[in-house]
Amino acid sequence: MSVKKAEANLPKPGAPVRGSASGQPIMVLFDLIGRRWSMGVLWNLSDGNRTFRDLQERCGSASPSVLNTRLKELRAAGLIYNAKDGYALTEDGRQLFERLEPLGDWAMHWVEKLR
Amino acid sequence: MSVKKAEANLPKPGAPVRGSASGQPIMVLFDLIGRRWSMGVLWNLSDGNRTFRDLQERCGSASPSVLNTRLKELRAAGLIYNAKDGYALTEDGRQLFERLEPLGDWAMHWVEKLR
DNA sequence: TCCTTTGCTACGATATTCGTAGCATACACT
DNA sequence: AGTGTATGCTACGAATATCGTAGCAAAGGA
Q: What is the b/e burial string over A30-51, where b = at least 16 CB atoms within 10 angstroms of the residue's CB?
A: bbbbbbbbbbbbbbbbeeebbe
Give me the residues near strand D, CB below 7 A: A 1-2, 9, 18, 35-37, 61-66, 69; B 1-6, 18-19, 51-54, 63-65, 68, 71, 82, 86-87
Q: Which residue is nearest to nucleotide D19 (CA to C1')?
A: A63
pLDDT in tens, A69-98: 999 999 999 999 999 899 999 999 999 999
Nearest CA to B29 out of B44, B45, B10 is that of B10
How much of chain A, in percent, has pLDDT values that exceed 90? Answer: 72
Judged by DSSP in three states, A84 sits in coil
Of A67, A38, A72, give the one whose Cα is nearest residue A54.
A67
Q: How confident is the model at residue B1 (pLDDT cuts 50, 70, 90)?
A: very low
Contact criterion met (CB < 8 Å) for A37 and B26 = no
Nearest nucleotide (CA of A64 to C1'): C8
pLDDT beyond 50 at A9: yes
- Looking at residue B35, its pLDDT comes to 94
pLDDT tens, B50-94? 999 999 999 887 899 999 999 999 999 999 999 989 999 999 999
- Which chain A residue has its CA at the smallest distance from B22's CA? A60
- A76 versus A24: the higher-pLDDT residue is A76
Which candidate in B32, B110, B112 is best for mutational testing of the A interface (most A CBs within 10 A)?
A: B110
The reported pLDDT for the residue numbered B114 is 86
Q: Is the CB of B46 under 7 A from strand C?
A: no
| Residue B22 clears pLDDT 80, i.e. is over it | no
How many CB atoms are located within 10 Å of the residue B31 CB?
22
State how far residue A12 is from chain B, nearest Cα, in angstroms. Answer: 9
* Closest-lying nucleotide for B51 based on CA to C1': D7
How far A72 CA sits from the closest chain B CA (Å)?
15
Strand partners for B83 = B86
- 3-state SS class at A88: strand
Indicate the burial class of A53 (C-beta count within 10 angstroms; 0-12, 13-18, 19 or more). Answer: exposed
**Could B26 and A95 be called an inter-chain contact, meaning their C-beta atoms sit closer than 8 Å?**
no
**Coil/strand/helix, residue A109:** helix
Residue B20 DSSP SS3: strand
From the list A34, A103, A113, the residue facing B29 with the nearest CB is A103
**What does each C-alpha distance from A64 to A10, A55, A77, B92 come to in angstroms?**
19, 10, 19, 35
3-state SS, B47-110, equals: CCCECHHHHHHHCCCCCHHHHHHHHHHHHHCCCEEEECCEEEECHHHHHHHHHHCHHHHHHHHH
